[in-house]
Structure 1
Amino acid sequence: MLIYLYDGTFEGLLTVIFEIYERKAAPAQIVCRKAELPGLFTQTIPVITDEAKADRVWIGLGKKISAAARSQLYKAFLSEQPQTAMLIYQYAQLTFASAVSIEDNFAADCVRELAQINKQVFRESHRMEAFIRFQKTADDLFYATIVPDFNVLPLISEHFRKRYADQRWLIYDTARHYGLYYDLEKVSQINLDKEIADRSGNLPANILEEQEHLYQKLWQTYFHHVNIPERKNRKLHLRHMPLRYWKYLTEKQPQ
Structure 2
Amino acid sequence: MPAAQIQYVFDGSKVGLLSCIFRAFQFKEFDVSLSLPNHCQHLLLADDSIDVANNPAHAERVWAGLQQRLSRTALRQFYLAYLSESLDAFQHLFDYAVHVFLNSYAVEKNYMQTSVLAVAQWAKKVGREKHRMEAFVRFKKTADDVYLSLIAPDFNVLPVIAPHFKTRYQDQKWLIYDETRQYGLYYDLSQIHEVSLNAHHIDAQIAAGHSQHFIIALNDAEELCDRLWKTYFQSVNIQERQNLKLHVQYVPQRYWRYLNEKQL
Trace 1:170-249 onto structure 2 (pairs within 5 A). 170-196=175-201, 207-249=217-259
Structure 1 counterpart of 2:90, which letter?
Answer: A
Counterpart CA distance in 2 for 1:241 and 1:102 is: 36
Distance in 2 between the 1:168 and 1:227 partners? Answer: 32
Equivalence for 1:38: 41
Report SS of the residue matched to 1:207: coil
Determine the structure 2 residue equivalent to 1:93: 98
Q: Is the 8 A contact 1:135 1:208 kept in 2?
A: yes
One-letter amino acid matched to 2:237: N
Q: Quick one: distance in 2 between partners of 1:57 and 1:88?
A: 12
TM-score by length of 2: 0.88
CA distance in 1, matches of 2:166, 2:19: 30
* Correspondent of 2:21 among 6, 17, 21: 17
Q: Measured at CA, do residues 158 and 175 of structure 1 come closer, stay the same or move farther in structure 2, by a change above 3 Å?
A: same
Of 225, 246, 250, 2:260 maps to 250
Q: Check whether the contact 1:2–1:27 (CA below 8 A) recurs between aligned residues.
A: yes
1:7 to 2:11 alignment: yes
CA–CA distance in 2 between the matches of 1:3 and 1:175? 28
What CA distance in whole angstroms lies between the structure 1 residues aligned with 2:173 and 2:129? 24
Deviations 1:79-99 (A, max 9, x none): 111111110111111111222
User: How far has the Cα of 1:195 moved from its partner?
Assistant: 4.5
The amino acid that maps onto 2:258 is Y
| Structure 2 CA distance for partners of 1:73 and 1:234, relative to 1, 3 Å | same
Asked if the contact 2:35/2:41 (under 8 Å) is kept, the reply is: no
Number of the residue aligned with 2:128? 123
Distance in 2 between residues matched to 1:130 and 1:224, nearest whole Å:
21
Structure 1: state its 5+ residue gaps: 198-204
Give the alignment partner of residue 104 of structure 1, picking from 104, 109, 113: 109
Return the letter of the residue paired with 2:243: N
SS, match of residue 20 in structure 1: helix
Q: Number of residue pairs matched?
A: 246
Distance verdict in 2 for CA 1:206–1:31, change over 3 Å: closer
8 Å CA contact retained: 1:64, 1:100: no
Paired AA for residue 81 in structure 2: A
Q: Secondary structure at the match of 2:87?
A: coil
Q: What root-mean-square deviation, in Å, do the aligned CA atoms of Structure 1 and Structure 2 show?
A: 1.8
The Cα of 1:27 is off from its aligned counterpart by: 4.7
* 3-state SS of 1:3 partner: strand
Q: TM-score, normalised by structure 1?
A: 0.91
Give the counterpart letter for 1:85 in structure 2.
F
User: Which string of whole-angstrom CA distances, capped at 9 and with x for unpartnered residues, describes residues 104-154 of structure 1?
Assistant: 211111111111111111111100011111111111011111111111111
Give the Cα–Cα distance (whole angstroms) in 1 for the partners of residues 157 and 216 of structure 2.
30
Distance change in 2, residues 1:207/1:61 (3 Å) = same
- CA drift of 1:206 comes to 7.6
* Alpha-carbon distance between aligned partners in 1 of 2:260 and 2:17, rounded to the nearest angstrom: 39
**Partner AA of 2:41 in structure 1:** P
CA contact (8 A) 1:4 1:27 kept: no
> Which structure 2 segments of 5+ residues have no match?
203-214
The aligned counterpart of 1:200 is none
Deviation at 1:9, TM superposition (A): 1.1
- Distance in 2 between the 1:137 and 1:116 partners? 39
Residues 8, 33 of structure 2: 8 Å contact kept: yes
* Distance change (3 Å), C-alpha of 1:206 and 1:56: closer
